[in-house]
Chain A
Amino acid sequence: AQTVTQSQPEMSVQEAETVTLSCTYDTSESNYYLFWYKQPPSRQMILVIRQEAYKQQNATENRFSVNFQKAAKSFSLKISDSQLGDTAMYFCAFMTVNRDDKIIFGKGTRLHILP
């Protein structure tokens, strides 16, 4: 079975600091995609970043970047220069390219950015 594990239920950091959220996954597939979604207090789910497993280069989106370690099945999210608006639940998610369109989500990490 494919699983996604987020080992940090909750984290707090000071504004402007850098924070890393951990995610590991388990799969026997070789072709898949990984995502980080953000859910702020409004509860609107927003895609933060995506990574194709066949790409060795780590994806980046402004202050957000990932550390993708395929052999270790690890997909951590780094938020640089954190801002108060980054306060949210963050979900790591996994999807295989097998035509069933299903995404598997981790249980989330609640991140608090402190002023």
Chain B
Amino acid sequence: DGGITQSPKYLFRKEGQNVTLSCEQNLNHDAMYWYRQDPGQGLRLIYYSQIVNDFQKGDIAEGYSVSREKKESFPLTVTSAQKNPTAFYLCASSSSSLQGEVYEQYFGPGTRLTVT
């Protein structure tokens, strides 16, 4: 089945530690995204990538880093510099609009990160 996987579903870390969230897709999508979801805040864009080996900061990139070495994978690292990392993180992918079309985003099941 084609889809997006995020692992693990729940993640616990101690304050001061970096943590990497996994996102893998087999939809052959060029574009991938990371969102953070907090209660009452909707979805806020952290980073996105329209093509392999390239990515751009979203609205709340501070304290996060990403890589896009393979089309299928877009891991997100939450660094110790992120002041309030506890949140629900969603990964998404879509066909890229670089060809002029607009495509909806498909989402993974999310990872709940708790930092104490």
Contact = CB atoms under 8 A, between A and B. Distances in A.
A52 B100 CA distance: 13
B109 A43 contact: yes
Quick one: which of A43, A47, A52 has the most chain B CB within 10 A?
Answer: A43
Contacts of B40: 9, 107
Contacts of A107: 40-42
B74 interface: no
The bracket for how many chain A residues form the interface is 20 to 34
A91 interface: yes
B42 A47 contact: no
A95 B102 contact: yes
B11 interface: no
B25 interface: no
A49 to B, nearest CB: 10
A61 interface: no
Given A52-B102, A101-B33, A107-B42, 19 more contacts: A35-B104, A44-B107, A44-B110, A45-B90, A45-B92, A47-B104, A47-B105, A47-B106, A50-B104, A97-B102, A99-B100, A101-B31, A101-B48, A101-B50, A101-B94, A103-B105, A105-B42, A105-B43, A107-B40
8 contacts: A35-B104, A44-B110, A50-B104, A91-B43, A95-B102, A101-B48, A101-B97, A103-B105
